[in-house]
Amino acid sequence: MATTDLSSLKREAALCALDEVRDGMLLGLGSGSTAAQFVELLGERVQSGQLRGISGVPTSEKTAQRARELGIPLTTLATTPRLDLAVDGADEVDPDLNLIKGLGKALLREKIVEIHADRFVVIVDVTKLSPRLGTLSPLPVELVPYEVEATRRWLETLGCRAEIWSDEAGKPYVTDNGNYLARCWFAGGIADARELDRLLADRPGVVEHGLFLDMATSVIVADRSGIQRLERRA
């Protein structure tokens, strides 16, 4: 699918999510290309006066900067520990609405913010739907820089190919939290996402990972035929 088509689909999904925002809401503002569309559209409505009393908690420094430029008031979880709604994209969505997120390099802050939301709405284009997590995209894992090569080698004992995510000069990307990221490719997808979640959570040196399990309330999917809304099963 052409890049222009994907950008248009992302905008359609973002517009659909924006219809859920009401005056006075406290919002979690996601990161990445699709979430950026939502932030842009939200800013337009705030500036025009169509939405009033909105505050947002950003999931990255980039999102925070853009929100300020657009005049979206920002707050923190310390001030507003419960959010009405979080809106963010995803890199992969399985049939149970479990997600891989984090290829926008903000997975830790995204997870912190989105667990504090009463509703977490995910906006994607149809290319992100997958029969099994790990089939379409690598799993990002945030790592402490100390002895990072040892942690990378351990990741490969989980049945994946793991690499430290680096820029064109070969230097590791550094997250907003001062950590590194690994990308982990699983041939044929992740066999047991819940077991992998547990193993990663228990490992020293792993700060957080991009498996977002049982978190999405709904997923708004845009394709050329229109918008589809997938709801989490009770």
Q: What percent of the chain has pLDDT over 70?
A: 98
Question: The CATH number of 139-208 is which of 3.40.140.10, 3.40.50.2300, 3.30.70.260, 3.40.250.10?
Answer: 3.30.70.260
pLDDT (tens digit per residue) in 83-101: 999 999 999 999 999 999 9
Task: Decide: helix, strand or coil at residue 64.
Answer: helix
Please give the pLDDT value at position 233. 80
% residues pLDDT > 90 (the chain): 94
From 12, 110, 114, 208, active-site residue: 110
Tell me whether residue 110 is one of the annotated catalytic residues.
Answer: yes
Whether pLDDT at 2 is above 80: no
So what's the pLDDT on residue 164? 98
pLDDT exceeds 90 at position 27: yes
Give the span between the Cα atoms of 102 and 143, in whole angstroms: 13
List Cα–Cα distances, 75 to 26, 100, 123, 214, in angstroms. 9, 26, 23, 26
- If one looks up domain 3-127+213-224 in CATH, what number appears? 3.40.50.1360
pTM for the complete prediction?
Answer: 0.95
For 151, the token pair is: 């942690």
